Structures are given as C-alpha cells and as structure tokens.
Structure 1
Amino acid sequence: MFRITLLAVLALVAAAGPCFPQTQPQAPPASGDVWPTTPGAPQPPSLNDRKAKAEEKGRELETKLKDDEELARRYVRPGMGVAEVQELLGEPRGAAASVQAGRYLCLGYGRVWVVFEDGQASCLRSRLEYVARYDSNCHCAGNAMNMVPFAKP
C-alpha cells in the first residue's frame, strides 16, 4: 500500500513539473573575469591590472632573492655562528634541520642555503639534497654540483 502511494505521489510531482521557475545562467563578463559584485560596489581590478601587479611582485621577489644570494655568497665565512649569519642576512626564507642528533641546521637565503654543523657555518649549497646516511637533506655531503664555494676574504 505504501509503495503504491509513494509511486502515485512521485507521478504527480513529475507531471506537475518543477516547483521553482527555471532561470537561465548569465554569461560571464566578456573580459574573462568572473567576480561577484553587489550593486553599487566598486568594480574589481581588471585581469590585466592583476597580471601587471603579479608580474611586478615577481620582479621584486626575483631582485630580493638575487640580493640575498649575493650577500650570502660574498659575506658568509666558514665558522660563523647562526646569530652572526642572521644578523648579517636577516631572517631566512626557509629552514631545515637534520634528523640525526640535530647536528646540522640549514637556513635558506635566496638561492643559497647556509649549512651549519654544530652551530657553525660549514658549507653553502645551491639546493638541499637527501642523503640516506644522514636521513636528511640538510648536510654538507653529496653532489658537489650543489656546493657553493665560500668567497675569498
């Protein structure tokens, strides 16, 4: 009995059609921007304005990375402490540490990593590379192509 009633109700609903009027979706603006707006609200920046701003920020970041890299290559010396390097170069953009006994600490400046062994700068690297015997990517071993020589005083 319940099944028959349910089928009858479903048949009536299907015959009646949709309960709410169907609206056609509006086409997005011609510029390719899709931005929800409220009437009277200021217009959002155009796609070209956002691209130009992103490109400007990218150029600023690229300049900063090059500056940080140059400072690290030019002024960091073997044996410098973590505090000395941070005073010289500021806060690093990234950091890593070795898993084994916390012996190594790597601080990233631009495209150069300063690797500290037991709290003293021991090498510079262009990128970190995982080595199984250290169970880490923060160390002074591995591919010599990733090593950056210290500048001569």
Structure 2
Amino acid sequence: MDFLKIAIGNGVNVNKMKGWSSIPIGDVQNSAELAAIVVKNDDALGIKQAEALREQSGFPIPLIKVTDQVDEDQVTQKATEYEKQMVPGFLTDLINFAQAKPISFTTPGHHNGQYYDKHPAGVVFNKFFGKNLMFADTSDTVPQLGDTMTHAGTPLNA
C-alpha cells in the first residue's frame, strides 16, 4: 500500500525496500504513520527514540534491532504483519478496489468523478478531495468489498 513508513535509526543502511518508504527516526512527527522501526543494537539514543515513539503511540510498532547487516526481508515481513494487524482488511480491499479505477454503474451519479473535470466547481471539488474519493465511493453491491449489508467478509472485521 505504501502509506505507512519504516523509521530508520542512525547508521542503519537499507536499500530501497520494495513497497516501503523510509524516514529517519529523528524526522518522525507522527508515530502512527510507522509500520516498523529499525535501529542499530548499540545505538542507545536510537533505541531511546524508538521506545519513545512506541510509548507515544501506544501501539506495538515492531522495533527491529540490527547489527551492521540489515535483513531487509525480516524488516519487510515485520512491517507487513503489523500493517495487516492494524489496518482493517475492508480498508485494504477498498484501497485496492479504488486503485483499480473501475467504472461502476452501481453509483451512476458520478461515474467515478470523470465528469467533474468538465465544470469549474468539479475541478475545485477534485483538487480539494482528490480523485480517489470517487473511486472509493461505491455501492454496497460491489462483490470485491464483501457484503456491507450483512457484514460478510472484511466489513465484519472493520
């Protein structure tokens, strides 16, 4: 999804981890945006910062202590597991559905917002809310999202 990030402590060298953005641990403003924290096991300041971020959020953000070698697969696995634990499956399904940008006739009033760009008010609307709003605004009859009427599938978990 690439919405959450991995905080990286001083001296931690990681290559671009597929599907994840990273942020220096000292630059984190909101610990809720993190999926994992990676620090060197001998970096007392980094560990202290990581523990403070976890305490501030109240969430069990994975804290991965590494030596000089970073197992990027382990970091990715821990971040993915945490994201799946914290983000409801229904939201993930909705994001995946919206990113596919299907034309839906179940909500014919907006046709995914494609006509909003043809009027100044629509342009302002799209610039304020963003185009994803219309792709995510869908009927309860879309099978990819489970059944929102009976709460079967991921809507039940949400």
TM class by shorter chain equals under 0.3
Between structure 1 and structure 2, the one with the greater Rg is 1
TM-score, length basis structure 1: 0.23
